[in-house]
């Protein structure tokens, strides 16, 4: 690439927004229309927060603060949404006040390496989105494609095999993923839906037996005795011409979930239509099972730590509702799916889990948060139960993590003020809170703000965004609000976050949910 071409590409990835202290756009320059999906003149008068991805809405607060203070904004990371297609791109942003007017200039440089969590192909949701796009493109090009799931075994056990170093494991993983990517349509339809479990979209005439044999040879190179690795595969035809768009998505989600949660043996369908039929049958059966569990009052909770990362202690616990049955069970993710769109059933679940939390004697010594749909707080019996508990156990620390604020704004729910006055703490998701000013921080009925895993999904992004995140944590603490970084996966991310005084974190790195508090890996704060 020539220097001129490089400059041209760099310019295409750059744009400027001139905003007032409230975030309203006065002027736009560069390629803002390309990245935001709106003409330059049409951007004038609109708020910069309108174009932030949901997960970056709260982070936009840092821009507003620096604009109001007329101070320099150090390099920060934000995800912005293109309004025409909804696609999200990552940007490195700097800002400075103008010396000749009252405007504040933001310079955005698109970074193709920034990974947006919900659209990451190495997530279930992201991979489903990639498959949907591949199906559309195949139809437009009159091309037949299929989706193959590949399970290479227990990659986590490779580290315990004598003579294998972490570098050996990494090289093996890179080798597998490079080979799968080469087979996938356009090199873009590959996803790691769980550790050691991959999905890829490929041409229908591709010989998957050859691919499987090659992956098996890679596995034998690092694990000749087959202690950890065993390669299995299953293919689903992606014929979707006769299916509605919504049915295509639920069929894909069902296939991916079954594979990720249960393994290859659960992929018992040959086509998307078969997967959709399996999904509908399962939903009906599992909903009936959930209702039976509610009637029999057998829902329980498991607990995972939320850590004060600078102190490496458990600040409080999060609870996950579940039903443990002799021959089956229901987990939190499945229960949430089964209750989606059924407010009555969700309220029954919320009531059951609150009863469990409120009567669990082991929780006297540690705070616990419980996920509650905000619609459930509109039911008098739920509020009555919570207030009655508070009168009986005023010493307990209980945090209500509220979801569904896209349907009922928190400003409209009077129960929030009642519950806070009664001694409950409230946790809101950052995407629901949106960009905040000092006035909003004073007024918001929250004690905790939960940040999306996209903030910590990529270590390089986390490292680059650390100063901005530290400012957010510090500023919110001035108003009595703690920030929780959700979805921490590995030790390197935890170590980075430990540099932020007052930050709280949760995620798989700190341990899977446990039903006995004796199994917690980190000590309880103050204990």
What's the pTM value of the predicted model, to 2 decimals?
0.76
DSSP conformational letter for 513: -
Neighbours of 9 (CB within 10 A): 11
Cβ-defined contacts of 319-324 (< 8 Å, 24+): 319/353, 319/357, 319/368, 319/369, 319/370, 319/371, 320/371, 320/513, 321/349, 321/352, 321/353, 321/356, 321/371, 323/289, 323/290, 323/293, 323/298, 323/299, 324/298, 324/300
**Which residue shows structure tokens 């803002």?**
32
Question: How far is the CA of 234 from the CAs of 175, 203, 336, in angstroms?
Answer: 21, 15, 28
Give one DSSP letter per residue of 354-388, joined into a string: HHHHHT-GGGGGS-EEEEEEGGGGGSHHHHHHHHH
pLDDT tens, residue order, the chain (527 aa): 444 444 577 788 999 999 998 899 999 999 999 999 999 999 999 999 999 988 788 888 888 888 988 999 888 888 898 887 777 888 999 999 999 899 999 999 998 877 666 555 557 777 888 888 888 888 888 889 999 999 999 988 887 888 888 888 889 988 998 999 899 887 668 888 888 899 999 999 999 999 999 999 999 999 999 999 999 999 999 988 888 888 998 899 889 988 988 889 989 889 999 999 998 898 899 899 999 999 998 888 889 999 999 998 999 999 988 888 776 778 888 888 889 888 899 999 999 988 888 888 778 778 899 999 988 988 888 888 889 888 888 888 899 999 888 777 777 778 888 888 899 999 999 888 888 878 888 888 899 999 988 788 778 888 888 888 898 899 899 999 999 999 888 888 899 999 999 999 998 888 888 888 888 877 887 64
What are 42's two structure tokens? 């049409």
* Complete edge-to-edge strand list for the sheet that includes strand 190-194: 190-194, 197-203, 145-153, 229-237
Closest CA to 314 of 458, 510, 448, 168: 510
Which domains are assigned to the chain? 3-110 (3.30.450.20), 117-282 (3.30.70), 297-519 (3.20.20.450)
Measured in Å, how far apart are the chain's first and last C-alpha atoms?
A: 60
pLDDT of res. 187: 62
Closest CA to 254 of 235, 269, 233: 269
- Would you say 400 and 358 are in contact if contact means Cβ atoms under 8 Å apart? no
Query: What 3 state SS string does 479-493 have?
Result: CCCEEEECCCCCHHH
């Amino acid at each position: 690439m020539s220097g001129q071409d490089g400059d041209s590409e760099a310019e295409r990835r750059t744009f400027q927004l001139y905003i007032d202290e409230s975030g309203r756009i006065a002027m736009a320059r560069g390629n803002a229309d390309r990245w935001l999906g709106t003409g330059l003149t049409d951007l004038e008068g609109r708020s910069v927060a309108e174009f932030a991805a949901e997960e970056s809405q709260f982070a936009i607060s840092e821009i507003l603060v620096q604009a109001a203070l007329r101070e320099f904004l150090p390099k920060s990371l934000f995800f912005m949404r293109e309004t025409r297609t909804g696609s999200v791109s990552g940007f490195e942003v700097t800002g400075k006040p103008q010396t000749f007017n009252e405007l504040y200039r933001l310079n955005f440089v698109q970074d193709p390496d920034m990974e947006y969590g919900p659209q990451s192909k190495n997530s279930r949701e992201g991979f489903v989105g990639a498959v949907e796009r591949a199906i559309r493109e195949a139809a437009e090009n009159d091309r037949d494609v299929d989706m193959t799931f590949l399970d290479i075994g227990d990659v986590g056990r490779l580290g315990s095999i004598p003579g294998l170093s972490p570098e050996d494991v990494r090289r093996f993983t890179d080798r597998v993923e490079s080979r799968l990517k080469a087979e996938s349509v356009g090199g873009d339809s590959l996803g790691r839906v769980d550790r050691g479990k991959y999905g890829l979209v490929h041409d229908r005439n591709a010989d998957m037996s050859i691919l499987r044999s090659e992956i098996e040879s890679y596995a034998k190179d690092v694990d000749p005795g087959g202690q950890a690795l065993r390669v299995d595969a299953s293919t689903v035809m992606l014929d979707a011409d006769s299916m509605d768009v919504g049915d295509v998505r639920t069929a894909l989600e069902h296939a991916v979930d079954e594979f990720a949660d249960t393994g290859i043996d659960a992929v018992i369908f040959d086509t998307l239509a078969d997967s959709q039929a399996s999904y509908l049958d399962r939903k009906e059966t599992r909903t009936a099972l959930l209702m039976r569990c509610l009637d029999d009052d057998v829902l329980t909770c498991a607990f995972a730590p939320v850590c004060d990362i600078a102190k490496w202690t458990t600040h409080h616990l999060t609870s996950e509702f579940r039903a443990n049955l002799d021959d089956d069970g229901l987990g939190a993710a499945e229960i949430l799916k089964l209750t989606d769109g059924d407010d009555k059933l969700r309220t029954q679940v919320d009531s059951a889990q609150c009863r469990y939390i409120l009567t669990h004697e082991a929780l006297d010594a540690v705070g616990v948060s419980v996920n509650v749909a905000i619609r459930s707080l509109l039911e008098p019996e739920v509020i009555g139960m919570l207030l009655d508990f508070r009168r009986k156990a005023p010493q307990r620390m209980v945090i209500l993590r509220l979801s569904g604020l896209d349907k009922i704004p928190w400003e409209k729910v009077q129960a929030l003020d009642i519950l806070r006055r009664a001694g409950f703490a409230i946790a809101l998701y950052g995407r629901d809170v949106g960009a905040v000013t000092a006035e909003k921080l004073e007024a918001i009925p929250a004690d905790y703000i939960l940040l999306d895993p996209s903030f910590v999904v990529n270590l390089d992004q986390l490292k680059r965004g650390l100063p901005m995140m530290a400012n957010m944590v510090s500023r919110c603490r001035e108003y009595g609000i703690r920030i929780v970084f959700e979805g921490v996966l590995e030790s390197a991310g935890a170590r980075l976050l430990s540099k932020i005084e007052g930050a709280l974190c949760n995620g798989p790195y700190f341990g899977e949910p446990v039903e006995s508090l004796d199994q917690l890996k980190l000590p309880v704060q103050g204990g």
